[in-house]
Chain A
């Protein structure tokens, strides 16, 4: 492979691929760190699986009480999970922004080097 072609491939294919891979890893880790998949699957599940039973027999008051308690447990679970999911999305958004900036910086690095040199010459 000719050196120039090799360089171009490295600059515009291989390295950007590596940077994209790293961004993907961070995004996937964000999802893992904040347990995104589990929190979505169990979004409305009771908090820490804490539930109450109405006991044996028909007791309307106990049924209402346990239903209310279980509802509260689910609400708590929902809010905490929703908060974590939101936080995860924000983090991933930051990663995505910074990652894209890094990727663009890399792609335009040769140009940036030339531009810095050209502007430096004005001062010297």
Chain B
């Protein structure tokens, strides 16, 4: 049972006015004290005998000032008191949750309870919308919501609620606080809970495409920021004091004069820069720490894709070592990065360079307190032959095997596979620590941490929807890894804010514009346009595709299912297997889909799978020792595209197995171990396996479901595809063979295309029924479908018009017609 009055915070809330009065009294008393002090000094200088009275008053004023300050410290500390009992236990046992509310929540609830025994969600929200509370202002201003306006809206629907509803809100807020790892329910938690129940707020959030989790996130953001500010103010805390550095730490260790010239002292850098908050990578950091602290070779090879935060792991280790919280072997060590590029640019020859490197390593070994870092290690172990890149592997090898000093080398998967793994004698001395990509949620925390600094620098304000858009778009359209891609986009949003966001606020639309400019993908319109495209997909495709109504309907429905979010999926945006004879519009449908969905036919990655019939062809697809993968490179460079796998039945079965993962998980690892994401692609595989069944069906006038069943039976029976492969597709679409009437429509479309081209030259081409029929008559073959039509139009019409144009027989602005019998030009 909820009982607010029994809590200490309630008593404090009742006395808040008194303490506010004390604050003012304290200020006035201080002024009074200073005034008395001036009088005392003045009188003392003129007549020392009459200072007693002002001195007495001065002491009284000072005493009041002291007392007011003292009581206010007590009040502030009492407000921060946390309950001793566990919130988890209270929630489980359904105990009174009032003692777990923070001061402000108690204050607002007390106000709401004054007039209503059981305040409704709207009444609660009304009282929580306090414009003087910086946390509340922060949450709503980041959402670009006007608190006053919202309060007016909420006021309109304020009616009494039930005790049950009220307690449910508090309990939900308790669960949110618990999820955050707190034992105290704060005002942000209650607003999060209200965002699901209060109708006005709920509707606004729905309109903004935001959810309860977003309010949670904002509430946690402000709490984390406040905590950081509070901690920074507590100068007496050990971690804050550590920033002042130390002296005499390295007196027992050797000089590293040579090494200092060509290195970066990261320990000193981090000591002066201050400790940044490390988010994620806890496991990797712990593993690296263990390797560096054990007996024997203490060499870590940090492997990860660029942008995953490989250096952050090193910074985390330094932070721990500096604060003395790491292992005995690492505490107080100097983490020094050997700058081999700077070294190479300062020496004249390769021999001299090797000599200097050997000297530096010697110094590091002798010093006894150095942890050596080599960034982009692959570049220095026989990587590409570029200026400034020396192969240090042979020089480094004895130091690594003798455990002269702990070493941290940083590389990427490409460098690891291409260069480092090729030197097994070097590789065996290292222990690998693979760096995972951070999740979008972790990345959100990181970019939130960077927002205040950037806002201060650019004098701009970024909205929360814009931050969400940064995460969403960088996840979908930017190829490299989290968190770097999101950080880069955030910085771009500020850097280009003057161009895109004329006013002071950076909105989601501005982020769309930046991504659009960076990637050439029309993301700005995509959300509204995507909905429009999905709803009208049938009509859009029908404009280009003749006859295949069932296929178009199936593709459109499957894509709508996939994109509406009703399916829990990890794979590509959509995947289809098109079955049907040649020339019935399978490829044309893929092209039409690429144009409708991705804005251009150019956004289609087309692979002829008949070129991948051997297992040795896999490296051509996903990359090999000496070549880039055709598929993986293109998808990595252009993740928002349609992948067309023509004649899939001709590919080697192992290649089909490779696509099982792509269709299921939405990614594949290339030969370098890089994760290539197919999440923003639509995959279409075409096959004419069993086309005879479709041709026969045309004669027997069977319907599509029946044909599909027969076709799949045939495919499984012949082992063309395995059932698990077929099941991975969102839709298996059967294309019927084309009738004469269909071919006439296709001829019309083809001739219209030509008509359009000629009209640019101001030449009008008249299309006659006879001409269309003649073309179809000449090209009709059920086995080849519409493929012949294009050839015949080229042969019989395009050639003739081209010749006539060159011979100047057709004048600009002229009107022509083609004789269907002789295929000669008739000038009209």
Contact = CB atoms under 8 A, between A and B. Distances in A.
A-B interaction: yes
Interface of A: 1, 3, 6-7, 10-11, 14-15, 22, 25-26, 28-29, 32-35, 38-39, 41-42, 45, 47-50, 77, 80-81, 84, 109-110, 113, 116-117, 119-124
Contacts of B18: none
Main secondary structure of the interface of B (DSSP, over half): helix
Contact of B247 (A6, A84, A110, A124): A84
Contact of B8 (A6, A34, A116): A6
B56 A122 contact: yes
Contacts of B368: 49
Nearest to B239: A25
13 contacts: A14-B77, A25-B238, A29-B244, A33-B245, A34-B246, A45-B252, A48-B251, A49-B367, A113-B63, A113-B70, A116-B62, A116-B66, A117-B63
B754 interface: no
Interface residues of B, number: 39
A120 B63 contact: yes
B248 interface: yes
Contacts of B52: 123
A25 B252 contact: no
B249 interface: yes
Contact of A26 (B53, B59, B236, B254): B236
A35 B63 contact: no
Interface string B46-65: 00000011011101101100
Interface string B5-45: 00010010000000000000000000000000000000000
Given A49-B367, A116-B63, A10 B78 contact: yes
B324 interface: yes
Contacts of A41: 252
Interface in B331-360: 332
Contacts of B63: 113, 116-117, 120
A124 B57 contact: yes
Contacts of A119: 59
Contact of B59 (A1, A45, A49, A116): A116
B249 A35 contact: yes
A29 B251 contact: no
Given A113-B67, A120-B63, A35 B366 contact: no
A48 B248 CA distance: 10
A24 to B, nearest CB: 8
A109 B74 CA distance: 13
B258 to A, nearest CB: 15
Contacts of B716: none
Contact of B246 (A3, A33, A117): A33
Interface of B: 8, 11, 52-53, 55-57, 59-60, 62-63, 66-67, 70, 74, 77-78, 236-238, 241-242, 244-255, 324, 332, 366-368
Contacts of B53: 123-124
A34 B247 contact: yes
Contacts of A122: 56
Nearest to B245: A33
Contact of B241 (A25, A47, A49, A109): A25
A47 B446 CA distance: 44
Given A7-B74, A22-B236, A123 B251 contact: no
A69 to B, nearest CB: 16
Given A41-B252, A113-B63, A123-B56, 15 more contacts: A29-B241, A32-B246, A35-B248, A38-B251, A38-B252, A38-B332, A42-B252, A49-B254, A50-B254, A84-B247, A84-B248, A120-B63, A121-B56, A123-B53, A124-B57
Given A10-B77, A120-B63, A121-B56, A35 B253 contact: no
A29 to B, nearest CB: 4
Contacts of A116: 59, 62-63, 66
Given A3-B11, A25-B236, A113-B70, A39 B248 contact: yes
Contacts of A123: 52-53, 55-57, 59
Most buried by B among A11, A41, A50, A113: A113
What 10 A-B pairs are tightest by C-beta distance, nearest first?
Answer: A123-B56, A42-B252, A120-B59, A124-B56, A22-B236, A29-B241, A49-B254, A35-B248, A35-B249, A116-B63
Contacts of A15: 77
A65 B677 CA distance: 69
A104 B52 CA distance: 29
A124 B56 CA distance: 5
A49 B253 contact: yes
Nearest to A114: B63
Contacts of A113: 63, 66-67, 70
A51 to B, nearest CB: 9
Contacts of B59: 116-117, 119-120, 123
Contacts of B56: 120-124
A29 B247 contact: no
Contacts of A33: 244-247
B60 to A, nearest CB: 5
Contact of B252 (A11, A22, A49, A110): A49
